[in-house]
Amino acid sequence: MYACCEDMKSGLKAFDEIPKWNVVAWTSLIAGYVNNDCATEAIRVFKDMESLNVEPNEITMVHVLVVCARSRDLSTGKLVHSRVRQLGYDPFVSSCYPNLVLATAIFDMYVKCGNLNTARDLFVKMSKRNLVAWNSMIAGYNQYGQAVEALGDLALGQSFHTYVLKMNICKDVAIGTDLVDMYAKSGDAESARKVFSDLKTKDTMA
């Protein structure tokens, strides 16, 4: 509760009063630091948790991956992904019920940290791709100026556009902006113009 209310001092006091620090308590503390944009502290707490042999769960890993993505900490992000594999949580390994939230967090971490080759490989392996994954993939390539590589002769970008149309969210400004940027950087000015004209609200960034 305290961690979510940005009162980390009270949160730490409550944490210290817990007789046995279980994974739920540790994860709540990490989440509090993540929500307050305290990347260094969140990662430190995660390492402390590991050093005391408290096994993290999938929710713990999602929070740590989010903070790695925000802070562009690829080194720690890779270590966390390796730990996910070690614990048997890796959603990119064959599974009947893959954790889409964890998969997206791992994938997004690689995108945000600029490791686009690994991100692309993981994207292809995703059994299900939600809007966050699609948008992260395209936005990441646009951000790092590799629109053409991202599209693979426009195939990936057009698949994303098809998905957006199917979900009836093509007029969302953020998504539309990424599509305009993607088509423009890949040299498809006509498609960029069409997406732009279809936007319900024109974003000044588009």
Tokens of 186: 């890949």
| Segments making up each domain of the chain, as ranges | 1-128, 134-206
Nearest to 140 by CA among 118, 162, 169, 173: 118
Q: Is the pLDDT reported for residue 50 higher than 60?
A: yes
Q: Quick one: pLDDT band at residue 19, thresholds 50, 70, 90? A: low
Q: Does domain 1-128 have CATH number 3.10.350.10?
A: no
pLDDT single digits (tens) 159-184: 777 777 777 766 677 777 877 877 87
